[in-house]
Chain A
Amino acid sequence: MVEWTDFERATIKDIFSKLEYDVVGPATLARCLVVYPWTQRYFGKFGNLYNAAAIAENAMVSKHGTTILHGLDRAVKNMDDIKNTYAELSVLHSEKLHVDPDNFQLLADCLTIVVAGRFGNTFTGEVQAAFQKFLSVVVSSLGRQYH
C-alpha cells in the first residue's frame, strides 16, 4: 500500500480543489497530442488533428480532456486504494481501448507541466514531488490489469 504524508495528502487535495477542469483538461490532452504526436493514434475518430491550432480548437479533444481530468477525481478521493479504484478502468484501457500503458506517463508529464504553468512559483519542488508521486501511482494502477 502507498504511504502518504500529511503534506502529500493536503497538497493533492489543494491542487485539485483549485483546478479549472475545463481549462486544464483540454490543455493537457491537446499538449500531449502536440508534444507526442504518436498518441494521436488513439483518436482517429476525433476529426482534424492536423496541427497544434486545430488540436487546440478541436471540441472532441476538449471534451475528452475534461473527462480524463475528472477521471482523476476518483483517485483523489481514494488515495489509500488507487490500485483497486482503477482496476476496472485499467481493464478498459487494456481490453477495449488497447492503449499502450507508456502513454499514461506521457499524459502525466503533460499534466504536470500544465499545472506548473497555472500555479507558477507556488508549484514548488515539494509540491511537484507530491504531485508526481500521486500521478505515478495513478499511472501504475492504470497499467496494472494489462496482460
Chain B
Amino acid sequence: MSLSDKDKAAVKALWSKIGKSADAIGNDALSRMIVVYPQTKTYFSHWPDVTPGSPHIKAHGKKVMGGIALAVSKIDDLKAGLSDLSEQHAYKLRVDPANFKILNHCILVVISTMFPKDFTPEAHVSLDKFLSGVALALAERYR
C-alpha cells in the first residue's frame, strides 16, 4: 500500500493546514494515548509525571510531531529519511511496533476533533497510509 502522488499531495495539503498546530496535536495525541491505552505508560516509567498535559508529555508530543514533520519532508523515501530515527527506536527505545499503530490512531482522532472540515475521508485515507508508512519505516531496523 505505497503512497501515490495523490496521497503525497493530500498529506502535504493537510499538513500545510495543521502543521502550525503540531505541538498541540502532539500533546493531545500522547495525552489521549496514555488514557485510552494505559499499557503505553510502561514506556514512560522514568518520568515522574505521566499525566495528560504534563510538561513531560508536552515536550515529548513536540518531539514526536517533529518526527512527523520530518517524515512529511521525506515523503518520497520514508525508509531513508527516517533511518536514524529507526535506529534509535530499534536499539535504544525498543518500542514495540504495535504501539505505532496505537499512536497513529490517536493522532487521527485529534486531527478529527481539531480540523473536522479538512479531515475528509480522502484526506483520512492518505494520512492513514502515510502514518502506516512512517510506522513501517520506523520499524525498518528492528530485525
Stretch at the interface among A7-15, A42-50, A120-128: A120-128
A34 lies within 8 A of B105 (CB): no
A31 lies within 8 A of B121 (CB): yes
Q: How far is the CA of A121 from the CA of B25 in the complex (A)?
A: 12
> Within 8 Å of chain A (Cβ to Cβ): is B84?
no
Binary B-proximity of A54-77 (CB < 8 A = 1, otherwise 0):
011000000000000000000000
Q: How many interface residues does chain B have, given as a range?
A: 20 to 34
Q: Chain B: which residue is nearest A114 at the CB level?
A: B112
Q: How far is the CA of A78 from the CA of B34 in the complex (A)?
A: 28
B113 lies within 8 A of A56 (CB): no
Q: How far is the CA of A15 from the CA of B36 in the complex (A)?
A: 17
Q: Within A126-140, which residues are at the interface with B (CB < 8 Å)?
A: 126, 128-129, 132
Q: How far is the CA of A82 from the CA of B90 in the complex (A)?
A: 41
> Within 8 Å of chain B (Cβ to Cβ): is A19?
no
> Main SS of the interface on chain B?
helix
Q: Within B96-134, which residues are at the interface with A (CB < 8 Å)?
A: 105, 108-110, 112-114, 116, 119-122, 124-125, 128
Interface centre among B116, B121, B125 (most CB of A within 10 A): B121
Return chain A residues, CB-CB under 8 Å to B52: 125
Q: Within B67-112, which residues are at the interface with A (CB < 8 Å)?
A: 105, 108-110, 112
Q: Within B1-59, which residues are at the interface with A (CB < 8 Å)?
A: 31-32, 34-36, 52
B35 lies within 8 A of A52 (CB): no
B124 lies within 8 A of A121 (CB): no
Which of B32, B116, B119, B121 is close to A128, meaning CB atoms less than 8 Å apart? B32
Indicate whether A52 sits within 8 Å of B109 (C-beta atoms), given known contacts A35-B128, A125-B52: no
9 pairs, CB–CB < 8 Å, chain A vs chain B: A34-B125, A52-B122, A55-B121, A116-B112, A119-B113, A125-B31, A125-B32, A125-B34, A128-B109
CB within 8 Å of A: which residues of B?
Answer: 31-32, 34-36, 52, 105, 108-110, 112-114, 116, 119-122, 124-125, 128
